[in-house]
Amino acid sequence: GAGVSQTPSNKVTEKGKYVELRCDPISGHTALYWYRQSLGQGPEFLIYFQGTGAADDSGLPNDRFFAVRPEGSVSTLKIQRTERGDSAVYLCASSLGTVNTGELFFGEGSRLTVL
């Protein structure tokens, strides 16, 4: 597809379960970002990949959160032992180079609800 694709669009899980959220960026985009957005708030930075490596993971809230991008394209955000406070929309974005070369292209997000 032409845009950033995120799956699933909605995920409902129980407290304590493991969750994986997938992001398929625009073809050729080397930079990939994960953000988290709670209701009424702006996107909150989680992690940034340049190619296969995590260039900045300073936004990950704790060690239950982990993200990978093994081949420099698709990325997976993994959340272990989910808590109710993890409920939010998880947004993925990609860009051609580093962020100062221009805009981020966002996906529609994965809405996570932890019961």
Partner 1 sequence: SQKIEQNSEALNIQEGKTATLTCNYTNYSPAYLQWYRQDPGRGPVFLLLIRENEKEKRKERLKVTFDTTLKQSLFHITASQPADSATYLCALDTTDKLIFGTGTRLQVFP
Round the CA-based radius of gyration of the chain to a whole number and report it: 13
Considering only residues 56 through 115, tell me which ones interact with partner 1, judged by CB under 8 A. Answer: 56, 59, 91, 93, 98-100, 102-109
The one segment of 19-27, 38-46, 62-70, 75-83 that binds partner 1 by CB under 8 A: 38-46
CB 81 within 8 A of CB 16: yes
30 scored as a contact of partner 1 (CB under 8 A): no
List of E strands, 51-109 = 53-56, 65-68, 75-79, 88-95, 105-106
Q: Which of 23, 26, 48, 60: binder of partner 1 (CB under 8 A)?
A: 48
The one segment of 18-26, 55-63, 64-72, 74-82 that binds partner 1 by CB under 8 A: 55-63
The amino acid at residue 109 is G
